Structure 1
Amino acid sequence: MPSNVEIKARVHDIEQLMQNAKELSQSEGSLILQEDIFFNVQHGRLKLRNFMNGSGQLIFYDRPDVSGPKLSNYSISPTEDPDGLTKLLSDALGVRGVVKKQRYLFMIEQTRLHVDTVEGLGHFMELEVVLNDEQTPDEGDSIAHTLMEKLQVKKEDLVTGAYIDILLANK
């Protein structure tokens, strides 16, 4: 199962973060509209990511709910029928909640940087350091900390859990 080291943080100055992201990635980033439908499961998280263009991904992931860098194991399966799959999984498992977001994706070497505007929550950033087979979680952690510093992300802005957890906690 692939793994990565992730961090998530609140963003107070979206313009500054975008500028830093563009400089580090040497790109304008890619805009992605996403709707994530989370389903009820015994452990981990299962979501159907709808790209709002007729395509999507079924994603299972498991990671601890702690602030700062954390190891995440995941599996992804693409789909060309996200609406049909959403209906099937909703009937079988029930829906835990829905997260709608506008995401800018920037690639910085082996790291995916997401700059997200989440409906009902505000602005966030996520770093996903995709680990090579030879790399340890500690190496991913070091890469994440270095990028946090370069992006001017403060430790006090780190958040735990997934967007769905934050949305449900705010209800």
Structure 2
Amino acid sequence: MRNVEIKAYVQNLNALLQKAKALGNSEVQIIKQDDTFFNIPQGRLKLRKFEEGNAELIYYDRPDIEGPKMSSYEKSSICKESVNSLYSVLEKALGTKIVVRKVRRLFMVGQTRVHVDSVEDLGDFLELEVVLKPDQPAEEGEKIALDLMSKLEVNKEDLISNAYADLLNK
């Protein structure tokens, strides 16, 4: 699975939420997430726990650059009965790097997931994930991301290159 994504600081949360809602083709979803990152030699591995008790195990690899960037990922859904035992195995085998807690507001705009994230101890962020179709070139995803950046009035100086986990570690 692949997507093109950007991440940026949010300067005016209310204005951004209004713009995202106007562009969206679905109702906003509010999702509470706790992402536990594990120590691995390449890419990132996280166990994303949801408020309902279920989780996803997600591995992804992307360059730490500002602006649109290609991300390759794999994920697996975990039923709530298995979350604690899986966490225990991963923690013992790999060690925990950091936990990122956030409230995500998810808007769908075409093939793009627009995330407006309030991250504990960090602040508010925008993340665009243009989900690429199997045969769709990355360049098309970059164009979509840049167009949405413009429509959402995201300034280039607000772009960030790192994951929330990296920002919390600083």
TM-score between the two structures when normalised by the length of structure 2? 0.97
Say if 2:45 is the partner of 1:46. yes
Partner residue, 1:130: 131
Say whether 1:140 aligns with 2:141: yes
The residue number in structure 1 matching 2:28 is 29
Shift of 1:55: 0.5
In structure 2, how many angstroms separate the alpha carbons of the residues matched to 1:49 and 1:135? Answer: 27
TM superposition shift of 1:95: 0.2
Aligned pair 1:106/2:107, yes or no? yes
SS state at 2:76 partner: strand
What letter is aligned with 1:112? R
One-letter identity of the residue aligned with 1:25: G
Q: After superposition, give the CA deviation of every residue in 1:87-139 in whole Å (9 maximum; x if it has no partner).
A: 11001100000000000001001000000000000000100000112211111
1:68 aligned residue: 67
Structure-2 residue corresponding to 1:13:
12
Residues in 1 aligned to 2:97 and 2:147: alpha-carbon distance in whole angstroms: 35
Q: Give the SS at the match of 1:67.
A: coil
How far is 1:68 from its partner? Answer: 0.4
Q: Which moved more, 1:132-141 or 1:57-66?
A: 132-141
Q: Partner of 1:161: helix, strand, or coil?
A: coil
Q: Distance in 2 between matches of 1:60 and 1:136?
A: 22
- 1:43 maps to a residue whose letter is Q
Aligned residue type for 1:54 = G
Residue 26 of structure 1: CA displacement? Answer: 4.2
Letter in 2 for 1:108: V
Contact 2:25 2:110 in 1 (8 A): no
In structure 2, what is the equivalent of residue 86 of structure 1? Answer: 87
Partner SS state of residue 65, structure 2: coil
AA paired with 1:153?
A: V
1:150 alignment partner in structure 2 = 151
Q: CA deviation at 1:84?
A: 2.0
Higher mean C-alpha deviation, range 80-89 or range 113-122:
80-89
Partner secondary structure for residue 87 of structure 1: helix
Aligned partner letter, 1:143: I
Normalised to the residue count of structure 1, the TM-score between the two structures is: 0.96
Structure 2: gaps (5+ residues): none
Q: After superposing the two structures, state which structure 1 stretch, 91-100 or 133-142, moved more.
A: 133-142
Percent same amino acid among aligned pairs?
52
SS at match of 2:160: coil
Partner of 1:78, secondary structure, is: strand
Structure 1 gap segments, 5+ residues each: none
